[in-house]
Amino acid sequence: MPSKALVAASLKPFVLSILAEGESYGYEIIQRVATLTDGQLEWTTGSLYPLLHSLENEGLLTATWRDAEAGPRRKYYRLTTKGVKALDAEKRAWMNVHRALLKLWEPSGTSFRPRHA
């Protein structure tokens, strides 16, 4: 299980990226992440929805309410132009970190293999 910090840090890039594929709603996003990471990464409602709202406050997302088949309607989010730019920035930042770490873990191009006893 990744650390809490890692989970928290990855929230924003995940959400933005998933929404880049198309509009979606909270529960669906959670399911998507679970599928993508084989259950490794699981978020609680408590962390996701406030984040969605915060991104909405910042203007990276806009929301629309759509009726559901049964029960209350759903709130669908999608990226704004500002959101697309933010996603780019997240990608770059994440890749920078990734590349730097890779240099340490796989110097001179050899792939990383855990040592066996």
The footprint of other proteins (CB under 8 A) covers 25-27, 31, 44-47, 49-50, 53-54, 56-58, 65, 68, 71-75
Confirm if 15 and 51 have CB atoms less than 8 A apart. yes
Q: How far apart (Å, rounded) are the C-alpha atoms in residues 20 and 22?
A: 5
CB of 51 to other proteins, least distance (A): 8
Q: How far apart (Å, rounded) are the C-alpha atoms in residues 14 and 90?
A: 10
Among residues 75 and 91, whose Cβ is nearest to other proteins?
75
CB of 30 to other proteins, least distance (A): 8
Tokens (6 digits) for 36: 């993508």
Among residues 81 and 108, whose Cβ is nearest to other proteins?
81
Among residues 44 and 111, whose Cβ is nearest to other proteins?
44
Which run of H or of E encompasses 75? strand 74-79
Among residues 64 and 96, whose Cβ is nearest to other proteins?
64
CB of 27 to other proteins, least distance (A): 4
Confirm if 80 and 58 have CB atoms less than 8 A apart. no
